[in-house]
Amino acid sequence: MDVPIKLLSTDFDGTLYADFENPPVPLCLQSLIRGLQSRGAKWVINTGRALPDLLLALEQAELGVEPDYLVVVEREIYRRHGDKYVEARAWNESCRREHTQLFERITPDLSRIQQWIRARFDARVYADAYSPVCLQSRSNEDTDAIVEFLEEYCRSVTNLTVVRNDVYARFSHVNYNKGSALGEIARQLRIGPDGVLAAGDHWNDLPMLSQEFARWLVAPDNAIEAVKKRVRQQQGYVSGQPHGYGVARGVEFFLEFNHYPLSDLG
């Protein structure tokens, strides 16, 4: 019997991984992922972390399974090749080119945007390799207000959007996010949305928590209410357990929903 989940996409921090747990990724979830991979399914970690940071965290987690793909900074794709991850060159080059062109257009406004934030909030505002405006604020309430201001600005700039995760935020191109990157991986693997499961817990996961990209949607108990609401609206699974345990229960739920025996995963 073919396994119904052919591509599994999991956010990292808070969804798959909890650094205060031992192990940080539950063994029950690792076992499920290993079983799916043994049946031909692919696993992608879909995160806002940069590649070096994610690779270090994976090494420290001492996982018994390895992801087949990585999506980093919510947009760049890497595929496992042996013991290394190689970039999806065409996608990543297009992604970088379009971001460079977009950010060049807003360069004259950057000083004004940064000054507006600093004048009103005790927040860290900086630029990095992925965005000319990055934010780390003191509270979710402050982030709400700053993101509202940034989103208003984005409405005046074609293709510009704000990506948020907790008290962090940055500018990005509207066409590149966790959802579109997942869709590109599925396209390369020739897997339709009906064979995809996605799990996430925060604002930046919303683009992939869509039946445009994944038929099966999961939110752990620690997910923010906006994520739980979106998942429920699409007949997804909201677990009563947090982090990786919640993801494991969601995977089991949808396998059982499709009458797939868990014993077949070994």
pLDDT > 90? residue 264:
no
> Are residues 163 and 97 part of one domain?
yes
The answer to the question of residue 245 being in a domain is yes
pLDDT for 47 equals 98
Q: Which of 119, 150, 173 is the last residue of a domain?
A: 173
CB atoms within 10 A of CB 18: 19
Of 19-23, 46-50, 223-227, 229-233, the least confident:
19-23
Question: Which residue, 173, 189, 215, sits at the end of a domain?
Answer: 173
Quick check: is 246 in a domain? yes
Do 110 and 186 share a structural domain?
no
Examine the domain organization and report whether 146 and 223 are in the same domain. no
Percent of the chain whose pLDDT exceeds 70: 100
What is the average pLDDT score of the chain?
97
- 265 falls in which pLDDT band (50, 70, 90)? confident
In a domain, 154, yes or no: yes
Distance CA 121, CA 136 (A): 11
Q: How many domains does the chain fold into?
A: 2
Q: What is the pLDDT of residue 1?
A: 73
pLDDT at residue 82 in the model: 93
143 and 216 part of one domain = no
Domain of residue 249, CATH code: 3.40.50.1000
What average pLDDT score do residues 136-143 get? 96
Range of the domain at 249: 7-74+177-265
Distance CA 132, CA 150 (A): 13
Q: What pLDDT is stored for residue 123 in this prediction?
A: 96
Mean pLDDT to the nearest integer, 37-47 = 97
Residues 149 and 186 in one domain: no
Are 100 and 166 found together in one domain? yes
Are 206 and 257 within one domain? yes
- Do 244 and 115 sit in the same domain of this protein? no
Q: Looking at the structure, do residues 187 and 146 belong to the same domain, yes or no? A: no
- Read off the DSSP letter of residue 24: S
Poorest-pLDDT segment among 20-24, 106-110, 241-245: 20-24
- Residue 12 carries which side chain, given as an amino acid letter? F
Angstrom CA distances, 162 to 92, 128, 134, 222, 241, stand at 19, 15, 10, 23, 29
Spatial distance between the Cα atoms of 52 and 229, rounded to a whole number of angstroms: 33
Query: Does any domain span residue 2?
Result: no
pTM over 0.95? The answer is yes
Kindly state whether residues 260 and 181 are assigned to the same domain: yes
Task: Determine the pLDDT at residue 216.
Answer: 98
Cα gap 106→150, rounded to integer Å: 12
Could you read off the pLDDT of 212-251 as tens digits, one per residue? 999 999 999 999 999 999 999 999 999 999 999 999 999 9
Q: What are the tens digits of pLDDT across the range 81-98?
A: 999 999 999 999 999 999
* Residues 183 and 260 occupy one common structural domain: yes
